[in-house]
A and B are shown apart, each in its own frame.
Chain A
Amino acid sequence: MKTLNCPLNGPRNITEFAYGGEVEKMPAPDAGAHDWAAYVFIEKNTRGVVREWWMHLPTSYWFIADRNTESNEVIATYPADEIFIEKTGFTGDG
């Protein structure tokens, strides 16, 4: 059984988690169709150590994992706010 160490819930069976893709910089809302298509569809699909999103399904908790995609070794897991330190600029008037 492969386990993943959830920063909120501790080590759990990997079947409790959903993979959320590599961490990538989101384009600006007005970046244009091409950049958005690339962001949504094109994958880096890195062979090696990757920083990626995971979610613990029972608690809907999203976090980041550094994982080696050749050996499947999970190097570290940590809360997303360790790398997303800037606040997003939503104004709340939409």
Chain B
Amino acid sequence: MPFGLLKYGLNRRYPKDPLYGKPKSLKPSYDVVIIGAGGHGLAAAYYLAKDYGITDIAVLDKGYLAGGNTARNTAIIRSNYLTPEGVQFYDESVRLYQGLSKDLDFNILYSERGHLTLAHTDAAIRTARWRAEVNKHLGVNSELILPDRIAELCPELSLAEDVRYPILGALYHAPGAIARHDAVAWTYARAAAALGVEIHTETEVTGIQIENGRAVGVETKAGTISCGRVLQAVAGMSSVVAKMAGLELPIRSIPLQACVTEPVKPFLDPIIVSGSLHVYVSQSDRGELVMGGSVDPYPLYSTRSTLEFKEELMMHMLELFPFIGNLRVLRQWAGIADMTPDFSPVMGATPVKNYYIDSGWGTWGFKATPVCGKRMAESVATGIVPDVLLPFALERFFRFEQVGERGAASVGH
């Protein structure tokens, strides 16, 4: 805003625009309590308020706003999955993302880059072709391309044949994008609060009250509240919170590490992913290379960093981009990922009545934020889990109907 710039440009007392008014203390009762003020929980709160007129909602979080995996991902958005269930679901998410800045009047810096999943083996080429065909069948723009086309799209990528894993082809997904991950949570927080939703950060949930198999209240460090329905959206801590409701999940909590380099001039337009090399990289608007690798080899509830992760990641990064050898790593972090046996989420209703779950988001939760919020809101508001979520129900493991998602990132296939 030019006028604001003139008025406050040289003033130290620039008025800070709060995203939302801090709510007063907790009320004794709410229609809906959402545990977890990350992207998913805030999006669900927003769609509950906007689409279903349910505004008596408290979103609780033990930490600060969107400080969990919403702040720790690599911000990639795509829908080029393998299973029809996955593709349809993420396609809806991509379409919601594309309109999000406009719909909610908040710039999430959505940047469509194109997404290349490199294939280094015949098996990977086969999977890429399979994914391309499933995607095309469902109206998602994906195609298998060969090195000549890869060189056009990403001339910086080393297509040398005398390396350990030469590039044979790639799955090209033109709508692949990145967005400012924090802004996604902020926009939902602001929009939800404007509709009357209360966001209580630093309010840790310590217990779930259940009567006759029905969730009736939530115990927090700031007191006990009764509620009509509860939605749990606490990736990384899903098993810990679910246990309070007496539920056990098919989830292991495993750290996923990532890092960024110092910023350099823009040179990398598309997002580059390699399942075989366990690498994914994109260049942020600031010029940093945002890089991630595979999940850690064993479960842990700690966001510590390891040298092994960096060694393995850099070894493969240098094979793809030999000239970045002199770049320094600026920051490194980890998030705790909810890993499921079939690399698909666990969402929907649970054996506890009025207790809904949004978990198992492994390494792929950020890209699902809008659709997950919208569809979980539908589940909570109507009590009917929509068709698009049914394949991801917790019971699938007892019916032996897993959704084997080999399009998931940072996991071996």
Contact = CB atoms under 8 A, between A and B. Distances in A.
A76 interface: no
A18 interface: yes
Q: Which 3 A-B pairs have the closest CB atoms?
A: A45-B239, A19-B298, A41-B397
Contact of A69 (B249, B300, B400): B300
A71 B302 CA distance: 7
Given A19-B298, A19-B299, A70-B302, A45 B251 contact: yes
A43 B250 contact: yes
Contacts of A9: none
For chain B, which range describes its interface: under 10, 10 to 19, 20 to 34, or 35 or more residues? 20 to 34
Contacts of B300: 69, 72
Contact of A37 (B252, B302, B400): B400
A43 B239 contact: yes
Given A1-B307, A37-B398, A45-B239, A72 B250 contact: no
Interface of B: 239-240, 248-253, 297-302, 304, 306-308, 341, 397-398, 400
A23 to B, nearest CB: 14
Interface in A31-86: 33-34, 37-38, 41-45, 47, 69-72
Contacts of A14: 297
11 contacts: A1-B308, A15-B308, A18-B297, A33-B398, A41-B397, A42-B397, A43-B248, A43-B250, A45-B249, A45-B299, A47-B301
A33 B240 CA distance: 26
A37 B252 CA distance: 16
Contacts, number: 55
Contacts of B341: 41
A43 to B, nearest CB: 5
Interface of A: 1-2, 14-15, 18-19, 33-34, 37-38, 41-45, 47, 69-72
Contacts of B302: 69-72
B297 A19 contact: yes
A42 B249 contact: yes
Contact of B398 (A1, A2, A34): A34
A40 B301 CA distance: 22
A57 to B, nearest CB: 11
Nearest to B402: A41
Contact of A70 (B248, B252, B301, B308): B301
Contact of A43 (B252, B308, B400): B252
A43 B299 CA distance: 11
A26 to B, nearest CB: 17
Contacts of A47: 239-240, 253, 301
Looking at A38, A44, A47, the one whose CB has the most chain B CB atoms below 10 A away is A47
Given A19-B299, A37-B400, A45-B299, A72 B304 contact: yes
A2 B306 contact: yes
A69 B398 contact: no
Nearest to B397: A41
B301 A69 contact: yes
